[in-house]
Structures are given as structure tokens and as C-alpha cells.
Amino acid sequence: MERISWEQYFIAQARLVALRSTCTRLMVGAVIVRENRIIASGYNGSVADGDHCIDDGCYIVDGHCVRTVHAEANALLQCAKFGVATNNTDLYVTHFPCLQCCKQIIQAGITRVYYEADYRNHELAMQLFKEANVQIKKIQLKDVQIIV
């Protein structure tokens, strides 16, 4: 059996992290990678010690659950909390980042975003990534099974 590529490995890791999500609408996972090493991970979930969607339902405003912190933001906040630089890193995420996460990714200095599934891909997010020279690549997980 041939080893999986780094891209496949890290997108599989993002999918595994998503299994910790507490949002019932969409489970999202993200990992930040530097030189083929995971430096942080995050999933969409409520603030520490807060009410969770799985317990109290989603809190919907304008069609979005506002109870949770997005996976990408949680990974970036983990880096901030522990003093880990994010400049020139890669982000692997299960779903295309929303507009707000896109801006945070750019500000954090992440240079490449790999995602598995399209999800409300915002035109401005794609434009901002392009203007900031952030490479975007869709990765299909293949020959890897994560059984739930």
C-alpha cells in the first residue's frame, strides 16, 4: 500500500478534528500546518463553558448559527493563546472558509488554504484571497476512510 500524500493526510486530520464539533448544522474541522507539522487545530463549537448546539440547539441569526466559534478561528485563537506564529503557514479545513474567517486567515499570514467541500463560497472571500496572494486548493479525500 502506498502512503497517502501530505495533502490527503492533513485534510483527513481536519475531518477527524471536525468530529469534536458541537454544532448540529455543520461539523467543521481545521488544522494549521507549518513544514508538514500540525501547529494547531480547531472545530466549530461554543465558547469554553458555554451552551452547546448539541445541548440547547443552534442560535440562528440571519441564517447562521452564532452560538459557535468557527473552526478556523478556533485554530487561530489556539495559536494566539499559546504564542505560536501563523505567518507562512498552511490551513487545511473541511469546508470553504466564510468571509469572516477568510479575513482572519489573511491577517494571520496564512499563505495556502486547502479545503475539502464547497460551502457557500463567498465571491468576496475568493477575491480577497486572490488579492492577498493566498493560494486556494480544493482537495478531495480519496483512498482514506474515517468511519464514524
Pick from 3-12, 55-64, 122-131: least confident: 55-64
Q: Which pLDDT score, from 0 to 100, does residue 145 have?
A: 66
Question: Active-site residue numbers?
Answer: 72
In whole angstroms, how far apart are CA 113 and each of 31, 44, 67, 93, 116? Answer: 10, 17, 25, 8, 10
Question: Which residue type does 20 have?
Answer: R
**Where does 44-130 show beta strands of DSSP type E?**
45-46, 60-61, 64-65, 68-69, 90-95, 112-117
Cell of 109: 499570514
What is the model's pTM? 0.94
Over 70: is that where the pLDDT of 51 sits?
yes
